[in-house]
Amino acid sequence: MNKKYSILIVDDDKFLLDMYRKKFEHYGILPELSVGSSDALNKLRGGLVPDILVLDIIMPGVDGLELFETIRKEKLCPKSIVIMLTNEGEGVKIDKAKSLGAVGYIIKATSIPSEVTEEIIRIADAHIK
């Protein structure tokens, strides 16, 4: 990997956000972090246009799928690729994410953070020219 991507990671778990930040920094990528959907929407509506959006699904208030729908409806960062990073393994949720245009779906519980980071970069390399 030699491209430096801009990434926005949205999760309600500050510990996980910090851990993923450290993993991406190892690759020379400084991700933008948002604790929850409203923080992410504020940043996106304010003009943030990341190459990659990494969304958790299970969050209080507006969940990751609702956030994804809002991003699509408001045409925020239409060229950004979206990867779901969640413990939600239900087929209906996966189908919904894919129907909205998610290019990746990673289950947190089955991957260690370094694997998650590598998978996100691999997906980005395959989808971003």
Q: How far apart are CA 118 and CA 96, in angstroms?
A: 24
CATH classification for the domain delimited by 7-127, as one of 3.40.50.280, 3.40.50.2300, 3.40.50.1000, 3.90.1150.10: 3.40.50.2300
Buried b (16+ CB within 10 A) or exposed e, 95-116: ebbeeeebbbbbebeeeeeeeb
The tens place of each residue's pLDDT in the chain, 129 residues long, gives: 457 899 999 999 999 999 999 999 999 999 999 999 999 999 999 999 999 999 999 999 999 999 999 999 999 999 999 999 999 888 999 999 999 999 999 999 888 999 999 999 999 999 997
The three-point CA angle 112-115-116 to 5° equals 85
In the chain, what are the domain boundaries? 7-127
By the 8 A CB rule, do 23 and 116 touch? yes
H/E stretch holding 66? helix 64-73
pTM beyond 0.85: yes
